[in-house]
Chain A
Amino acid sequence: MVDLSVNLAGIKLKNPTILASGILGLDVATLKRVVKGGAGAVTIKSLTSEPRKGHNNPILIEATEGVFMNAVGYANKGIDHGIEEFRKWDEEIPLIGSIVAADAFEFAKLTEKIQETPIKALEIVLSCPHTPGYGLLAGQGSPKATVEITKAVRKKTKLPLSVKLSPSIEAIGEVAKAAESAGADIINMGNTLGPGMRIDINRAFPILAFKIGGMSGPAIKPITIRSVFDLYKAVKIPIIATGGIMTGEDVIEAVMAGATAVGIGTGIYYRGLSVFQKVCQEIERWLKTNNFKDLKSLRGIVHKT
């Protein structure tokens, strides 16, 4: 018997697969289907203080083989609606909250509010590459802003706190250390890559309505693996590897680099809602074949070589 369960900053996950934020996380009914698909935890789509329409369509395109590119622009019905919706969560599988805001003060307010839902952890996203006023476009990717925001949120909650970083900034180690020093319990590495752009040459027009977008999909996996590898050396808190994780072998690779759990999003496009189950079966098979009894014994092993 192999053990797929992981301990993520005190939260026990039956397996290391987590639905990444922004994918199918608008309502409880749809998240329940992701739970049926085998996810170890699910993350809601990020909530903002006020309802947001987000960018116009197209918001998501297949940029090239193995790469999706999106600029949704945080379309969501706002925190108050979110609380009403996610208050209904009654699954054993942990629900992870996710919030985005323009500054530390707003992040703190949202943190207070979102705890009216039964979330088991909170993710703060400082790394969106395509929404004016938020994430990278608001300078939230710097160590200074990361400390300020993480501290403000930390004061308002005892829940395990995850900070979602961007793979597109150079000093990720510094930013992750900043988050850790300010009280973060988990680093989610990370957000979509880029931003990138595609132009439709028949119309001579950028395809995404926001023109630029963050990239996801199997092709970005090497960047995720390298980022996790770097962070494992930089911080002691657990790391969630998000970006290009599609298969059980991808999870093994991420764990060897130092990840405790993985985020899966675009993988749902490639492998359906049961991607989580499939990934777990593949992990199990790999562990058995290679005589490992759990993921813990694999974590970060490449750092020893």
Chain B
Amino acid sequence: MNNIYQTAKIKSVEIETPKVKNFILDSSIRAEPGQYVMIWLPGFNEKPFGIVKPSPLMLSIAKIGPTTEIIHKLKVGDKVTFRGPYGQSFKIKSGKILLIGGGYGVVPLYFLASSISPEKRKNITVVIGARTKKELPFVTKFKKLGCKVLVTTDDGSAGFKGFTTQLTEDLLNRKKFKAVYSCGPMIMMKKIAQLSHTKKIFCQVSLESFFKCGGFGICGECCVNGLIVCKEGPIFEGKVLL
């Protein structure tokens, strides 16, 4: 039962960027790309986190607030308690696909790319954007999978100087893609949904919202324009943002 809490131990911790740590647990779950787990810190809080890998369970966590600050202090051997997976997964199209991740938003996209068989990963182009070079997450990991990786930085310290949306527009003008998948800041995903819509390309985005009941879809806290993000999402077609 995915509603029952499981407690695992941290097997290893990787420092991905100055803000992002990857936690690999000694436990595995069955999950689909795009789904998430709710991590419970007893006596403190419970928050959703996208799944990077289901087996062994790997989570990539950016330090953005009090809850993630506590998680960042966890060490190898410490307990992590979670329930899930929850939510809808990406509909993965065969053929050339484009993944666009803004900062730590690349997390669910990595699970998506790794779920595609190795010989087909050359069809995957990934655009990863961050403010500056050292904040770019998962570049090596996507390359190791065999994807084509393009990076953008706001300050030009690596790759294209500018936003992921500019590079995406250029890519969509020059190449034919079967589908576009995006996760990152809302403003970025909106723009990407618009671009995909104009080009009539299938597009999915991963929405972020404030979760309370987290996965049950009944408390209503996470609703955006009447969409129950924790249950009907977090993966939606881009058109919901138009």
Chain A residues in the interface with B (C-beta under 8 A): 22-27, 29-30, 32-33, 45, 54, 56-62, 68, 70, 72, 75, 200, 202-203, 205, 207, 209, 265-266, 268-269
Contacts and interface: CB of A to CB of B under 8 A. Distances in A.
Nearest to A22: B219
B210 to A, nearest CB: 10
Contact of B46 (A26, A30, A57, A62): A57
B204 to A, nearest CB: 21
Contact of A207 (B40, B79, B211, B216): B40
**Interface residues of B toward A: which range?**
20 to 34
A250 B51 CA distance: 39
Contacts, number: 91
17 contacts: A23-B220, A27-B226, A30-B220, A33-B226, A54-B212, A56-B44, A56-B45, A57-B47, A58-B38, A200-B7, A200-B40, A200-B81, A202-B5, A205-B43, A265-B218, A268-B217, A269-B216
Q: Which of B79, B211, B216, B219 has most A Cβ within 10 Å? A: B219
A23 B217 CA distance: 9
Nearest to A273: B228
Main SS at interface, chain B: loop
Contact of B218 (A205, A207, A266): A266
B3 interface: yes
Given A58-B40, A202-B81, A203-B42, A23 B218 contact: yes
Interface of B: 1, 3-5, 7, 38, 40, 42-47, 79, 81, 211-214, 216-221, 223, 225-226, 228
A36 to B, nearest CB: 9
A258 to B, nearest CB: 27
Question: Which among A24, A56, A57, A60 has the greatest number of chain B C-beta atoms within 10 A?
Answer: A57
